Structure 1
Amino acid sequence: MWHLKSIRAKNLCSFLEMDYSPKQGEATLIFGNNLDNDSQNSNGSGKSALIEAIAIALTGEPLRKVNVDEIINDTQDEAAICAILSNDALESQLTINRKLSRKQPQAIQVLLQTGPYDTDVEEIVQATVADYNKYILDQLGLSKDDIFANFILTARKYKSFLASSDKEKKEIINRFSNGVLVDQSIEALQSDMVPVQEELNGAEKQVATCIGRVDAMATEIEKAINESEERRLNNESRIKNWEDLIASKRADIRLAKDNITGIEVSLDGLDVLDEDMQKIEKSDVDALEALTTIEERFKSNNLALTTDYRREMTVLQTQVQSAKENVSTLNQSISALRKALETAENDYSITSKDLQSQKADTAHQIEQCDKRLNDLTVEVKELQHAENELETKQKSKKREIANIENQLAGVIVCPKCKHEFVLNAQIDIQETRQTLKSLQKILSQIDKDIASNETEYNKVVAEGKEQRLLEAELNQKQRAIDQDIEDAEKKIQAVRRDFQQCERDIEDANSHLTEIQNKVARIRKRIFDEVFEIIDEAYKRQEGQIKSLETEIETLKGSIASYEKAIKDAKEVSEEDILQSLKKSQEEYRQELQCAEDKKNEVEGRLNELKSQEQTFIEFKTYLANTKINAIAQITNEFLETIGSDIRVALSGYTILKSGKVRDKISVSLLRDGVDCGSFEKFSAGERVRVELASILSMNQLTNMNCEDGKGLDLLIADEVLDSADEQGLASVFKALNKTQLTSLVVSHGLTNEGYPNKITIVKQNGVSSIYANQDTN
């Protein structure tokens, strides 16, 4: 797709220099400030000059119907415009240079760059400016009408699709669907059919004339064979009988012509009825009122509808009422469920918070318990280690004591001096005894330490058991809390499921209601489809009656001609040769009839072949048109949803009647909650702006979708098209435009420009206009 990267101009309107690069993929708000004339506010500031520059660059034509002199700055003789467009998909850049002069024709230069280097630039050469314009539009994949209808929209040139006439809608649809090409084929076929139809009419008249002649001859031959001798000899009586028959058949001809006149009057009445029905269809009259008028008018024209629409509408209205009551009941239910859900959510929040707090506290206690158990485990190990060391020490001391006691066991006491000694003279008995006492004292302390250690060990073990019991209790409490949390979640989930199920039920009920309401809305179209089909069938039936009467007249004329010839022959031929003459004439007429029928069948075959081709083209055109009509409605509604509007657009397309005739009536209905809200003009200005914007965006997108791969234009300019939007509405417009990521320029004629960051202000001062980005200049 092509993107407008920059637009530059010199000496254009009030601009001496213009250089502007649109912000890609965003909407830009354009304000004006005419400092030369306070009473003009934004008017005359030069906003339109920027739009003119873009329009002239792309199409070669200004938006306004003005001379070149009015586009060029008053102080200059020449103006220049340069537009640069890029296309990532095609890896191309298009540069358009135009020079406007008061004295010379427009000059143009077009450069196409297809690569990154200067050598990749090609200057396009065309014979005339018109050829250059065509080349540029061909590169874009658009027509000039496309540009001014769907890309550069101004109050002077823009025509709303929704508010346009039926004829204008059909022209737009034909342009989108290439229906014009099909129309050309149909017109060519219809042109070919005219002489064939005329030839067939002549052949049918000739067949009727021949049938009349043959039938008359057969009657007279039978009479001639069966009549009596006296009757056969009475030539004058026979002639008189033929003359009476001629008079009778002329009377039949007059009667047939009178009948044709009466039918033609009835056809005129059908024409009036058809016009009146079209007026009613285009009006805002509801289906029931329209049906009443139709029934009255049909009765006066001896026509009747075959479908009982009153009963159908009654049934549908009952269904609508029932569906509305169902929706109302569900809304009441969901209101109660919403309150229950809010209460449950609040309770769950409190309960969950409390349980989570308990869970956290319990987890902390478990953690402290685990920590204490770990500490006790360490203490037990330390006590066991201390016990082992004390027992080792105890054993060592006991061995030392035993050894000393063994040494003191051999003490000998002198009876006289009481001196004690042992055999080992090196042992000091007193010192050894002192050592023994010291060791015994140490051993006693060790025994006490062992007993104390054992007591401490038992105490730690006992505490460990208590901690394990506490841990088990805490884990049990934790599991109970988890179960409580799970139960609370199950309870809130059950309430949520009930609420969500009710929401789904409401959605289904609303869908069912919308479906019924759409049936109600479609009844009006179905009524008029049948009305025009009945009128068309009545028209064809009465035209067939006229054709049948005309054939009967030709047959009667043929009979008259046969009788006149018979009278002539009766006067000129002898009595004996009359029967032979009648048989001869009958044979001649039969041969003429055979030739006439062969000719009629051959012509009819050619005409039917052309009609078959015409019907194929009509069905193809109907398919193309309805495809685009459905696309317009779908894309418009997608944009309406994006904008946040609750309005939806319903477009009824082309209908092929049973007769094969196409009803190419395009009806626009605006729906709110599936209910037809009337014509586009009935909505408020703000609502119309939203719907109009959605329509504009859909037409812009659809036009680009119709382009060849890689072509199209990422641009939308709206000048005075969305003026009825208030500040809030304008904010919605920009929000919607930015969601589409469409490069767009919206010209505002308001006096305020706060609140939107991406804007430019065109200021005119001392007769010269300048562009200021994202600021106000007063």
Structure 2
Amino acid sequence: MPLSEKKQQAALELAGLDGRVEMLQEQIRKEEETGAERGRTRAERIASLEAAIAAKREQIRIGHETVAGYETRLVAVQQADEALQLLESGDTALDECLEKIREMMPLFPDARQTDWNGIITGTKEKLQTAVSGLSDCDTSLKQAERELEEKTENWEQFKNKYAAFCEEYNEQSGKAADKLRETDVRLRNLAGCIEELRHKRRIVSAGIDELSNKLAGSVTCPACRHNFLIAEPQFDIEAGMRELKLRQRQLTEINGRIEDKQEETGSVELQQSRLNHGRRTLEARRTEWEQQLAGHERAVRNTTRSVEETENRHRRIAAGITALQNEIESIRRKVFDETFGFVDERNASLSRSIRMEKEDIQAAACAIDTLQGTIRELNEAVPSDLISTLRSTLREVREKSREAAGRKTAVDAELRTLEMQRERFIQFKTYLANTKIEALSRITNEFLQNIGSDIRIRFDGYTVLKSGKVREKISISLLRDGMDCGSFGKFSAGEAARVNLATILAMQKLVNSNCDDGKGLDLLVLDEILEAVDEAGLASMFEALNSLGGTVLVVSHGNVAEGYPHKLVIVKENCESRIGE
């Protein structure tokens, strides 16, 4: 601030000196022209200078009037600023705030106000559409959940039936496998037996063929009718005949046994075929059951996917609704941020105009001094000496102007450095403040949840306006189910007590988190802030307080200390207080 004042003084000084230089240059030019006009008298020249003085004084008068007008408008803007601050901190509805701001807008002729009513209307329409979509999504979700529950129940029931079938299948499959193993053994035994009988049949058949061939070569004696073989006279034909008949009976017996074994084999193979057919039927039933089980599982999986997709869509719509609600809630802050930006810009514009007018007034005043000095010199000096004197004065004033410009440049440089430092500090301070504000909001909401409140607090911290100025304003919104639930004064005493307690606990925790170890606040004193809370609320609040691990002193006129291990009752009788039992 001292540098700004020094800069303003330097600017006024420089403006005055520049005014003197301009006027001296004008006077020198006129004196040189006057020297060419030989018929012009000194009185006429003085009259011309006095007329210039009168014009400058008129310029000064008009400048003062202009400054007064600017200052009047500046006061009106400052009053509007104060009114805006009161309006923002009050409980006035947003519609009324917009109407009052609209009445103030003539104070800001160059401002372009956002169509907040249009934005609010459009956002509310989007919100209404989203809410309708959320309702439809809720209906779809409930239907999908019912379908999932039904399909899951069917699946569970079918799994029980499938388990029973599996037991039956395992039992029947085991029996069929045992019987198939038995038939396999029997078939292998029968095949071995048939092969053995066929081997015997081949041996017997070979013997029969051999005997038949021998007996076919027998010769009968015509005298004694004795049969014999010429090649083997000693061979007993009758014994051979008996042996042939015996072997033929053996062959017939073997063929019969082979036929019996083959019939038995066919019967066993038919039994095996039936067993395999039954087993295939059983496997087909198992495949059918598994397909049905897979169908139930697939139906449950598809329905679950449908439920998840509906839930995701529900979450997206809900998130969109929350974003729209937050947007609507933030409009109030944006409205005031924009209007305060108009105020700052108008303040800067008017201050700049006032400064420029004052510089022009200063320049005119210095020009008047220069003109008056010229009149004095004109009365005292000859014309040639006057031009010389004016030129000498011009050199002196120019030198002073350069010195003043140098001082102003130095002040400007120093001021710019400080302004950069201030801007960086403001940004850093804003960052620190918003960080703590965010932490305070989070901790407060944690305590509100712990003490059983459905209210949540949202803090909006410092913001940077379009003009670059930082609004060090903390806006507080009280939310229920994500919706703004009005000002704090509209809450019941019990709800207000919960919010108060949560805020106190959050502040204490935030303070302790910024203290060195062992230097935090261990003692918390609550003096009659829980009177309006019901018993259920007190129970949850005491539970939260007991979980803090610190020392809590609760002062109350009611019996609210049942959740604490220590209680001190103060009894007041006959204007005296004593400790009760």
TM-score bracket for the superposition, by shorter chain length: 0.7 to 0.9
1:265 paired with 2:265, answer no
- Are positions 1:295 and 2:102 aligned together? yes
Alignment counterpart, residue 472 of structure 1, candidates 280, 284, 288: 280
8 Å contact kept, 1:363–1:478: no
In the TM superposition, what whole-angstrom CA distance separates every residue of 1:85-142 from its partner, at most 9, and x where no partner exists? xxxxxxxxxxxxxxxxxxxxxxxxxxxxxxxxxxxxxxxxxxxxxxxxxxxxxxxxxx
2:471 maps to a residue whose letter is: R
Query: What displacement does 1:633 show?
Result: 2.2
> Max radius of gyration: which structure?
2
* 1:743 maps onto 2:549 in alignment: yes
**Cα distance change, pair 252–640 in 1 and its aligned pair in 2 (3 A):** same
Change (3 A) 1:688 1:358: farther
Asked if structure 1 preserves the Cα contact closer than 8 Å seen for 2:448 and 2:454, the reply is yes
Deviation at 1:569, TM superposition (A): 0.5
| Preserved CA contact (<8 Å) 1:668 1:679 | no
Residue equivalent to 1:663 = 471
Which of 468, 484, 497 aligns to 2:305? It is: 497
When residues 475 and 229 of structure 1 are mapped into structure 2, their CA distance, relative to the original with a 3 A threshold, is: closer
User: Aligned equivalents of 2:29 and 2:466: distance in 1?
Assistant: 46
Q: Which has the higher contact order (CA 8 A, sep 6+)?
A: 1
Once the two structures are superposed, residues 13-39 of structure 1 have per-residue CA deviations (whole angstroms, 9 ceiling, x without a partner) of: xxxxxxxxxxxxxxxxxxxxxxxxxxx
Q: Which of 374, 380, 385 is equivalent to 1:566? A: 374
Alignment map for 1:714-729 (pairs within 5 Å): 717=524, 719=526, 720-729=528-537
Q: What SS does structure 1 have at the residue aligned with 2:533?
A: coil
**How many angstroms does 1:356 deviate by?**
3.3
Q: Which residue of 2 aligns with 1:149?
A: none
Change (3 A) 1:718 1:495: farther
Q: Is the 8 A contact 1:714 1:742 kept in 2?
A: no
Deviation at 1:743, TM superposition (A): 2.1
Unaligned runs of 5+ in 1: 1-192, 392-449, 771-777
Question: Structure 2 length as normaliser, TM-score?
Answer: 0.77
Paired letter, 1:658: K
**Structure 2 contact 538–560 (Cα < 8 Å) conserved:** no
Checking the alignment, whether the CA contact within 8 Å between 2:23 and 2:370 is kept in structure 1 is yes
- Answer yes or no: is the 8 Å Cα contact 1:208–1:555 preserved in 2: yes
> CA 1:696–1:364 in structure 2 vs 1: closer, same or farther (change >3 Å)?
farther
Sequence identity (%): 32
| Cα distance, 1:467 vs structure 2 | 4.3
For 1:573 and 1:249, the matched residues in 2 are separated by 24
Change (3 A) 1:765 1:735: closer
Q: Distance in 2 between matches of 1:505 and 1:712?
A: 50
Partner residue, 1:703: 511
Q: CA deviation at 1:640?
A: 4.7
1:510 to 304, 314, 318: 318
- The answer as to 2:18 corresponding to 1:211 is yes
| TM alignment of 1:58-457, pairs within 5 A | 193-194=1-2, 196-227=3-34, 229-230=36-37, 233-299=40-106, 302=109, 304-370=111-177, 376=182
Tell me the alpha carbon deviations over residues 238-295 of structure 1, each in whole angstroms, 9 at most, x when there is no partner. 1122122212212221221222222222222122111110111011223232111101
**Partner Cα distance (1:765, 1:255) in 2:** 77
Q: Tell me the alpha carbon deviations over residues 62-101 of structure 1, each in whole angstroms, 9 at most, x when there is no partner.
A: xxxxxxxxxxxxxxxxxxxxxxxxxxxxxxxxxxxxxxxx
Query: 1:698 Cα shift?
Result: 3.8
Q: Secondary structure at the match of 2:139?
A: helix
CA contact (8 A) 1:224 1:232 kept: no
Is the partner of 1:660 in helix, strand or coil?
Answer: coil
Tell me, in whole angstroms, the C-alpha distance in 1 between the residues paired with 2:4 and 2:513: 42
Instruction: Call closer, same or farther: CA 1:360–1:232 in 2, change over 3 Å.
Output: farther
Q: Which residue of 1 aligns with 2:402?
A: 594
For the residues of structure 1 that align with 2:543 and 2:275, how far apart are their CA atoms? 65
Q: Contact conserved, 2:34 with 2:40, CA < 8 A, in 1?
A: no
Task: State the AA in 2 paired with 1:743.
Answer: G
8 A contact 2:508–2:521 mirrored in 1: no
CA gap of 1:761–1:614, structure 2 versus 1, over 3 A, is closer
Contact 1:689 1:722 in 2 (8 A): yes
348 and 544 in structure 1: CA distance in 2 versus 1, 3 angstrom threshold: same
Which structure: greater strand fraction?
1
Per mean C-alpha deviation after superposition, the further-off stretch among 607-616 and 344-353 is: 344-353
On the 8 A contact 1:762/1:769 being kept in 2, the answer is no
User: Which position in structure 2 is the counterpart of 1:760?
Assistant: 565
SS at match of 1:665: coil
For residue 651 of structure 1, give the secondary structure of its aligned residue in structure 2: strand
* Counterpart residue type for residue 52 of structure 2: L
Equivalents in 2 of 1:499, 1:510: separation in Å? 16
Equivalent residues of 1:669, 1:676 under 8 A apart: yes
Corresponding residue for residue 218 of structure 2:
none
Given that residues 10 and 407 in structure 2 are in contact (C-alpha distance below 8 angstroms), is that contact kept between their aligned partners in structure 1? yes
Instruction: Say whether the 8 Å CA contact 2:494–2:530 is kept in structure 1.
Output: no
Residue pair 2:16, 2:367 contacting (<8 A) in 1 also: yes
Which residue of structure 1 lines up, in the alignment, with residue 350 of structure 2? 542
Residue identity opposite 1:288 in structure 2: D
Q: Is the 8 A contact 2:169 2:286 kept in 1?
A: yes
Distance between the aligned counterparts of 1:452 and 1:685, measured in 2? 106
Q: Does 1:623 align with 2:410?
A: no
Partners in 2 of 1:591 and 1:576 — Cα distance?
A: 23
In the TM superposition, what whole-angstrom CA distance separates every residue of 1:591-638 from its partner, at most 9, and x where no partner exists? Answer: 121111111111222222222212221111111111111222234345
CA displacement 1:631-683 (0-9 Å, x = unmatched) = 22234345555666554322111112233322101010022343222223323
Looking at structure 2, the residues matched to 461 and 692 of structure 1 have their Cα atoms a distance apart, in angstroms, of: 92
Shift of 1:496: 1.7
Deviation of 1:511 after TM superposition, in Å, equals: 0.6
Q: TM-score, normalised by structure 1?
A: 0.59
Contact 1:636 1:649 in 2 (8 A): yes
TM-superposed CA distance for 1:736, in Å, is 5.5
d(CA) in 2 for partners of 1:716, 1:499: 51
Contact 1:210–1:558 (CA under 8 A) maintained in structure 2: yes
CA gap 1:318/1:598 in 2 versus in 1, 3 angstroms: same
Offset from partner CA, 1:460-479 (integer Å, 9 cap, x none) = 88766644443333232122
Is contact 1:305-1:530 (8 Å) kept?
A: no
TM-aligned CA distance change 1:213 to 1:381, over 3 Å? same
Q: Deviations over 1:183-204 (max 9, x none)?
A: xxxxxxxxxx41x333323222
1:665-704 maps to which residues of 2 (within 5 A)? 665-704=473-512
Query: Residue in 1 aligned with 2:296?
Result: 488
Inter-partner Cα distance in structure 2 for 1:272 and 1:599? 36
Whole-Å separation in 2 of the counterparts to 1:686 and 1:516: 30
Shift of residue 697 of structure 1?
A: 4.7
**Code of the aligned partner of 2:313:** D
Q: Secondary structure at the match of 2:565?
A: strand
2:567 is paired with a residue of what secondary structure? strand
The Cα of 1:702 is off from its aligned counterpart by 3.3
